Structure 1
Amino acid sequence: MDIVEHLREAILLGTHPPGTVLSQSDLARDYGVSRIPVRDALQALAAEKLVEVVPGKGARVIHLDPAALREVYDLRLLLECDLLQRAIAAADAVARLDVEYALRRTALTAGKTGWPAGDWDFHAALYAPAARPRQCALVRDLRRICTIHASGYDTLASDTPRWLADHDALALAFAQGDAQTAVAVLQQHIGAAADALLGA
Structure 2
Amino acid sequence: MNFPDTINAAGLGLATGLALIVAIGAQNAFVLRQGIRGEHVAAIVTICALSDAVLIAAGILGTGALIAAAPTAVVILRYVGAAFLVTYGIMAARRALNPQSLTAEGSSPKSGKRSLAAAITTVLALTWLNPHVYLDIALLGSIASAQGSGQEWWFGAGAILGSILWFASLGFGARFLKGFFSRPRSWQLLDGGIAVTMVALGAGLALGS
TM-score range, shorter chain: 0.3 to 0.5
- Greater relative contact order: 1 or 2 (C-alpha under 8 angstroms, separation 6 or more)? 2
Higher helix share: 2
TM score, norm. by length of structure 1 = 0.36
Higher strand share: 1
TM score, norm. by length of structure 2 = 0.35
